[in-house]
Amino acid sequence: MATPLVVSEVFKSFTMHLRDGIKLPVVNDVNFSVAAGECVVLGGPSGIGKSSILKMLYGNYAVDAGQILVNHQDRIVDIAKADPRTIIDVRRQTMGYVSQFLRTVPRVAAIDVVAEPLVARGIEAAIAKENAAELLSRLNLPRELWSLPPSTFSGGEQQRVNIARGFITSHRILLLDEPTASLDATNRRVVVEMIAAKKEEGVAMLGIFHDEEVREAVADRILDVSAFSPRKAIAA
Amino acid sequence: MSDNPLLKVSGVSKFYGSRIGCKDVNFELWPGEVLAIVGESGSGKTTLLNCISTRLLPTAGSVEYRMRDGNFRDLYHMSEAERRFLMRTDWGFVHQNPADGLRMTVSAGANVGERLMAVGDRHYGKIRETATDWLGRVEISADRIDDQPRAFSGGMRQRLQIARNLVTGPRLVFMDEPTGGLDVSVQARLLDLVRGLVNDLGLAAIVVTHDLAVARLLSHRMMVMKDGFVIEHGLTDRVLDDPREPYTQLLVSSILQV
């Protein structure tokens, strides 16, 4: 089986046209891969480009050069060059993303927010909802909240909805951007267990975890992003 | 993923005298895909939408549409009657001002039923039943079926216009600023409704809007227009999170945060 995710010679900078076109280099020459069943954690101080790497992999940021190769339904897709339609299909079938913040849609109930990725993959709404309910109760989200839109929820509650939504599918690759940032110890442990279960299933995971305890518990390998920092290159 | 686009737009340009309406626009649209066209007033968004939907004849270029039989037809080489039939059945057009898309002096039920009759439905009871069902889907209560849209609020009229357009099961819907001029709370309801219907019915849609939040919520792909040209085109998340062109950066940085 091909490696689920290979990143090779990726360069990224921002050109700020509103600031006289200054160029802000973000990362240079990023190279790594994530194997099936492995959880790689991005390390390094804030502002070094960890989130940017996740956003490039998910297609939210364009890259200046390099390849992001994803094993998508037995063929290799280069996210760096793929058209929007292909990226959307990769997101639907292969690569999931749990962000720090939930982008809420007005009026959609929490349980439907969680069930949506399954429905999008053609699974019957009732079954999708059952799975969603299971995850939400596992993450200790009070049942009274399930039928409410999450826009009024607390940070930790929204994050749990977000995690449930990210973990509900059987995506082969999961990107995790600080999924435990606003959770209490009990729920952090639940997430650690959920990540362990995904590993068992052979899911390739790439994440950012600032919480040391969680990082220790989930990381198979820590990838120091400072190695790709252009600032370091300039200083040296 | 289906392998054939629904719509192929090639080199579409429209000049008003020597002034550019839109210039050399190329894209393809697939079934189930929602494309947002954004840009400020006068950027050519509506001109482009009208050219694609054959409401306006472009100066140059072609638009090909895949008919239900699987064959592509050049829209500008169809007869007027064929084009009108297509617009009444396989397409929808949601205007910014509902009064442009509704018949204001016939009942809500007749507004929806009229499109059904255009595709050959003649059974009054069935038409009324379908109309009632569609009013429900756009959250208009059944007891308003005999009221004229004149008696409806702006948000209700817009929802009625959507029901009228979707009742024939179109495969492609054009929307020109569908939430323009509505209250924020009414907008949210409409957006949620449109989003749900597009997902459930697997429609392809082209939405013109100057509201980037609307585009983010509804669209998969986004085209940014300025002075008649498409200056940036890509996955909606990418265009909004990592805008490349100076003008797109200006647009994105001008969004008010609540």
A105 chain-B contacts, CB cut-off 8 A: 191-192, 195, 217
Half-sphere exposure of A191 (CA within 13 A, CB side): 30
Residue from the list B30, B217, B237 with its beta carbon closest to the beta carbon of A60? B237
CA A233 from chain centre, in angstroms, equals 28
> Which pLDDT tens digit goes with each residue over B139-151?
899 999 999 999 9
- Identify whether the C-beta of residue B163 lies closer than 8 Å to the C-beta of residue B130: no
A84 chain-B contacts, CB cut-off 8 A: 220-221, 234-236, 238
- Identify whether the C-beta of residue A214 lies closer than 8 Å to the C-beta of residue A180: yes
CA-based R_g, chain B, Å: 18
Distance from CA of A124 to the nearest CA of B (A): 12
A24, A107, A118: which to substitute to probe chain B, counting the most B Cβ within 10 Å?
A: A107
Chain A CA closest to residue B221: A84
CA distance B9 to B22: 13
- Identify whether the C-beta of residue A228 lies closer than 8 Å to the C-beta of residue A29: yes
- Work out the angle at residue A180's Cα, subtended by the Cα atoms of residues A176 and A185, and round it to the nearest 5 degrees: 150
B253 chain-A contacts, CB cut-off 8 A: 18
Say whether residue B249 is in contact with chain A using an 8 A CB cutoff.
yes
Q: Taken in order B65, B67, B70, B73, is the CA torsion positive or negative?
A: negative
> Which pLDDT tens digit goes with each residue over B224-257?
999 999 999 999 999 999 999 999 999 998 877 6
Its ipTM equals: 0.90
Residues 25-84 (B) with a CB less than 8 A from some CB of A: 30, 33
State what percent of residues in chain B have pLDDT above 90. Answer: 72
A14 chain-B contacts, CB cut-off 8 A: 242
Residue A235: Cβ-neighbour burial (10 angstroms; 0-12, 13-18, 19+): exposed
Residues 210-239 (B) with a CB less than 8 A from some CB of A: 217, 220-221, 234-238
Average pLDDT (B48-66) is 95
Average pLDDT (B42-61) is 94
Say whether residue A105 is in contact with chain B using an 8 A CB cutoff.
yes
- Which strands make up the sheet holding A65-72, listed edge to edge? A22-34, A5-16, A65-72, A75-78
Chain A CA closest to residue B251: A18
Q: Which two tokens stand for residue B3?
A: 């392998």
Residues 176-215 (A) with a CB less than 8 A from some CB of B: none
Distance from CA of B17 to the nearest CA of A (A): 33
State the pLDDT at residue A80.
96
For B123-136, letters b (16+ CB in 10 Å) and e give eeeebbebbbebbe
At which residue do the structure tokens 């024939």 appear? B168
- Residue A97 CB partners (closer than 8 Å, separation 6+): A54, A58, A91, A166, A174, A175, A177
A61, A64, A88: which to substitute to probe chain B, counting the most B Cβ within 10 Å?
A: A88
Whether pLDDT at B185 is above 80 = no
Say whether residue A62 is in contact with chain B using an 8 A CB cutoff.
yes
CA distance A37 to A221: 12
State the pLDDT at residue A232.
58
* Angle in degrees, 0-180, between the axes of helices B184-201 and B154-166, rounded to the nearest 10: 10
Q: CB pairs below 8 Å between A and B: how many?
A: 57
pLDDT in tens, chain A (236 residues): 689 999 999 999 999 998 898 999 999 999 999 999 999 999 999 889 999 999 999 999 999 999 999 999 999 999 999 999 999 999 999 999 998 877 777 788 999 999 999 998 889 999 999 999 999 999 999 999 999 999 889 989 999 999 999 999 999 999 999 999 889 999 999 999 999 999 999 999 999 998 999 999 999 999 999 999 887 555 44
DSSP A126-176: HHHHHHHHHHHHHTT--GGGTTS-GGGS-HHHHHHHHHHHHHSS--SEEEE
